[in-house]
Amino acid sequence: MANGIIRGKLAILVGGGPAPGINGVISAATIEGINQGFKVLGVSDGYKWLAQGDTEHAVRLTIEGVKGIHLRGGSILGTSRTNPTKSETSMQNVLSALEELGVVALVSIGGDDTAFSASRVYKQANGAIRVAHVPKTIDNDLPLPGSTPTFGFETARHHGVYLLRNLAEDARTTS
């Protein structure tokens, strides 16, 4: 912990579809957040519950609880395609829920909708909530510098190529 000082609460959420590597990001963000003096909360199912003003689906994350999750697939927090920017009420609910939870920093993991939602959280909170977005999409459709692929894309591409090569070989050898 940074000099034993609690810096507030950091929330982590995952939006959009699944992609390889999500748990690794959750683990790394949790460990670094705690090391920097934050209490870390994991928000279940992306913006789904926050958009309803529900704070009951946020759980405390600990180093002990996340240290091995990078070895598992999926997301320990779940994920949701809920986009709070589609409704001003949903967006206000998100801000109110984060404020009620005492969140001063947010790590958002997801694709383009989740990135846009994260930027709106920052803007509408007037900087009271610092936001970092980790781009995640197997579509590789986020404009990152230097044509950098998002995590998840390379794994999906690798497995897709592998499957197609096997199918092509099966088709070639079958009469």
> DSSP readout, the chain?
-GGG---EEEEEEEBSS--TTHHHHHHHHHHHHHHTTEEEEEETTTTTTGGGT--TTEEEE-HHHHTTGGGSSS-TT--B---GGG-HHHHHHHHHHHHHHTEEEEEEEESHHHHHHHHHHHHHTTTSSEEEEEEB-TT--S--GGGPPPBTHHHHHHHHHHHHHHHHHHHHH--
Banded pLDDT at 139 (limits 50, 70, 90): low
Q: Which domain holds residue 155?
A: 2-173
Annotation marks residue 139 as catalytic: yes
pLDDT above 80 (res 134): yes
Residues 45, 112, 139, 170: which is the catalytic one? 139
- Name the more confident of 146 and 122: 122
Range from 38-47, 54-63, 68-77 carrying the lowest mean pLDDT: 68-77
**Total domains present in the chain:** 1
Report the CATH number that the domain containing residue 28 is assigned in CATH.
Answer: 3.40.50.450
pTM, to two decimals: 0.84
pLDDT digits (tens, 9 = 90+) for 25-52: 999 999 999 999 999 999 999 999 999 9
